[in-house]
Amino acid sequence: MTMTTEPRTAPVVRLDGREKVTGVGRYAADMTLTGLLHGRFRFADIGHARIKRIDTTRAKALPGVVAVITEADVPDVQYGLFIKDRRLFAKGVVRWEGEVVAAVAALTPEIAKRAVELIEIDYEPLPVITDIEAALAPGAPLIHENWESYWQDEKLVRSGNEASRSTIVKGDTAAALASADLVVKGRYVAAGSQAAPIEPRAILAEWRSDRVQIWSSTQVPFAARSLVSETLGLPENKIRVTVPHLGGGFGAKCEGHFEPQVAALARAARRPVKVVFSRRDEFLAPDHRREGMIVEVESGVMRDGTIVARRAQVLTENGAYSADEPLITILAAIFSTGPYNVPNVDITGRCAYTNTQPSGSVRAPGAPQAAWALEQHMDEIAKALDMDPVDLRRKNLLRNGDLSPTSQVMSEIRAVETLDKAAELIGWGQPLPDDEGIGIACAWWPSFPMATSAFVKINVDGSPTIITGAQECGTGAVMTLPILAGEILGIDPSEFSLVYQDTESGPWDGGAGGSQTLFNNGRAVADAAMDVRRQLLKLAADELEAAEDDIELADGRARVKGSPDRFVTIAALADKTQGTQLLVGKGSGEVPPTPASDTSACTGRLGAESFAAPTFGTHAVRVKVDRDTGVVRVLKVVAAHDSGYIVNKVGAAGQVTGGVVMGLGQALTEGTQISGEGRVRNAHLLDYKLQTMADVPDISVWFTDTAVSDAGPKGSKGVGEPPCIPTPGAVANAIAAATGARVRELPATPGRIWSALREGQA
């Protein structure tokens, strides 16, 4: 990696780092408890069927089996974010192969496995639909026969297999298309893909009288608690969800996930239970995979490259049940126009039930595929106009004062800078060998303001502690939160201790998703640190006989500005507070405002009306393609991002390189393959190929690193999700540049590239 700007502060070592490199850090699967039983789920193992009979007699009779439960053993509650269309255990019908039908608790994992196999289920097969367009076709068999009876969000528009339908309308697209010099059309089809954290999930539950303690590998302990509360009918304060170290999530561990089933199993067994997913389970069962998507887009352009109108239809794959996909479809619809100034926009987003794993947020949900489609379309426009792709983008990129598709006025954005920097660093326009090409792609992504809180306390000896409900999933909250508090209190970040990822210790937080921890919880921690700072300054002013304004906090001391010898240590001040008022600060901070927008002509909106503190980025990718085999070698990636002020350079750069490599995998080697019967064909890492270190090229990371207003702490914006968005589009454009052949399917496998070359299409 080339860091083109130097870190401004000394790099901060992760507070959890030492545990992680020495192997003593505990992840959920590493935990054990007295009396622990081993749980296992029985999955449907069929794409779509009516359940005629479930018989658990033989499983229950197996020695060592302590409990077997099905839907009959839990409250009959339907849940779901926008549509309450599912239950903890299948009832009557199974709609995808990974649906949980029953659960077993036994003395050993081996006995649990055998017991699961002894559960007898008789199915009457029902028609399986795995194709998005087939699901939406008139007369298609219904995946949820009783769809009309389900509770739904009142703003949601849906019908039958169409789980949501929404539009974004601005201006008069039909007229603008009619008067454009040229109309360019394209259709792009992206396969679904997987978050694939290296840690398969694990959950433990232990009842203590009428309270349950759950340890879960979740990104969102508070949402997990809410789901247990909703489905098992317990008040939230009787449920404690604690996350040991979390081995990555990337969205797949967002929302509640299996915590209620494990809690119900432990209650039935009257003993603690642990369920650990196999890699195969991790591929099949979580209701959060990245959705498959079909984007059809047409743009009206003028000879000089001005885009005057864009019409698009975005079809997304909801899967068998509805998680947050209806909202993701709305995001994907916005991204199908890209970060460009398009005055007339008419986009429809439709989300289709299929008999496949439910889709849901995976790192920048909805964005990479939509951007992959649109950025290829941009290059196809450039080609039709005989215009340089960078020039076309520069002409149309959003600038301050421009309007977004929902008529949000852009301010303090630096999209064009990221484009120019990426073009410069990749050497855009340089002569290349015949088999090489450079592709470029732009993207944007919102930050997500939300409420949260934190405490900061100074212990008797002056040592500082942050108490927060925030969650770390590898992304670096353990670094940014102490950096922010440390600056305010004049204490080295490494001296902080952190109480986090536990619903009973810290206030509510949205969790490790939406790139929101620094953005929101950072604000709360800084606010709490300011509270303590005020207390310290007051004490120090008394002690040093100076005005509060004249005192600064640095190096663990309060000292009089300009007279460093007049100081008192924070430890001494903390000691003084014993017996009076302790040094405890609390904070929330003011949630940044959401910009105004105009969605009066739009329908079916569930949110994302405008983008608070939007981030922008451009990736440029250089590839080499073997024309005989279709094999792509990525030689170089430049990732230029406008993420506002960068609080932790090493951490932020690591988010970018991680996002880029995830994007390379999505572009080239990943992609879930599903048979017509709804069975995943590549539910293991040999066939679902993640990028390895040997695949990875040199990656240059560049940030605008400029503070913006109405954003996160110090003018920062979200960092974690955006870096995976532009990569697949830039790779696709690079392949087309190298070969003249365009692959309109994702991933661009060697077979697809080879076929595109044979067809000579471009």
Partner 1 sequence: MKYSATLRVNGFSYPVTIEPQRTLLSVLRDDLELTGSKEGCDDSECGACMVLLDGEPVNSCSYLALQTLGREITTVEGLSTNGDLSPLQKAFLEAGGVQCGFCTPGMLISATALLARNPRPDDEEIKASLSGNLCRCTGYTPILAAVRSAVEMTAG
Q: Binders of ligand FES among 194-233, rule CB under 6 A?
A: 198
What's the sign of the alpha-carbon dihedral 148, 154, 158, 163? negative
Q: Is-contact 106 37, C-beta < 8 A?
A: yes
Specify which residues 183 forms β-bridges with. 300
The maximal CA–CA distance of the chain, rounded, in angstroms, is 84
650 binds partner 1 (CB under 8 A): yes
- In this structure, are strands 37-43 and 100-106 parallel, antiparallel, or unpaired? antiparallel
349 binds partner 1 (CB under 8 A): no
Of 21 and 178, the one with the shorter C-beta distance to partner 1 is 21
Q: Binders of partner 1 among 464-483, rule CB under 8 A?
A: 473-476
Least gap, CB of 478 to ligand FES (angstroms):
13
Of 156 and 639, the one with the shorter C-beta distance to partner 1 is 639
660 binds partner 1 (CB under 8 A): yes
Pick from partner 1, ligand FES, none: which does 464 bind, CB < 5 to 8 A by kind? none
246 binds partner 1 (CB under 8 A): yes
Which residues, 6+ apart, have CB-to-CB distance to 187 below 8 Å?
294, 295, 296, 297, 744
Q: Give the x/- contact pattern for partner 1 in 182-201, rule: CB under 8 A.
A: -------------xxxxxx-
Cα–Cα distance for residue pair 513/475, rounded to 1 Å: 10
- Per DSSP, which regions of 531-681 are E strands? 551-554, 557-560, 563-569, 584-587, 612-626, 631-642
* Type of residue at 369: Q
Least gap, CB of 427 to partner 1 (angstroms):
20
Cα–Cα distance for residue pair 25/492, rounded to 1 Å: 23
Which residues, 6+ apart, have CB-to-CB distance to 647 below 8 Å?
480, 483, 484, 518, 522, 713, 714, 716
474 binds ligand FES (CB under 6 A): yes
Contacting partner 1 (CB under 8 A), which of 29, 54, 425, 668? 29
Which residues, 6+ apart, have CB-to-CB distance to 693 below 8 Å?
none
Pick from partner 1, ligand FES, none: which does 16 bind, CB < 5 to 8 A by kind? partner 1
Q: How many residues bind partner 1 (CB under 8 A)?
A: 59
Q: For residue 55, what is the enclosing H or E element?
A: strand 49-55
Pick from partner 1, ligand FES, none: which does 654 bind, CB < 5 to 8 A by kind? partner 1
Specify which residues 297 forms β-bridges with. 186, 312
Cα–Cα distance for residue pair 141/160, rounded to 1 Å: 9
Least gap, CB of 658 to ligand FES (angstroms):
8
260 binds ligand FES (CB under 6 A): no
Cα–Cα distance for residue pair 535/434, rounded to 1 Å: 67
Least gap, CB of 659 to partner 1 (angstroms):
7
651 binds ligand FES (CB under 6 A): no
| Candidates 352-360, 564-572, 596-604, 654-662; binding stretch for partner 1 (CB under 8 A) | 654-662
Least gap, CB of 723 to ligand FES (angstroms):
15
Q: Which of 85, 79, 12 is nearest to 491 (CA)?
A: 12
Q: How many residues bind ligand FES (CB under 6 A)?
A: 3
Least gap, CB of 627 to partner 1 (angstroms):
24
127 binds partner 1 (CB under 8 A): no
684 binds partner 1 (CB under 8 A): yes
| Binding interface with ligand FES (CB under 6 A) | 198, 248, 474
Query: Which residues contact partner 1 by CB under 8 A?
Result: 1, 11, 13-14, 16-27, 29-30, 32, 195-200, 245-248, 250, 276, 278-279, 473-476, 650-651, 653-654, 656-662, 684-686, 690-696, 699
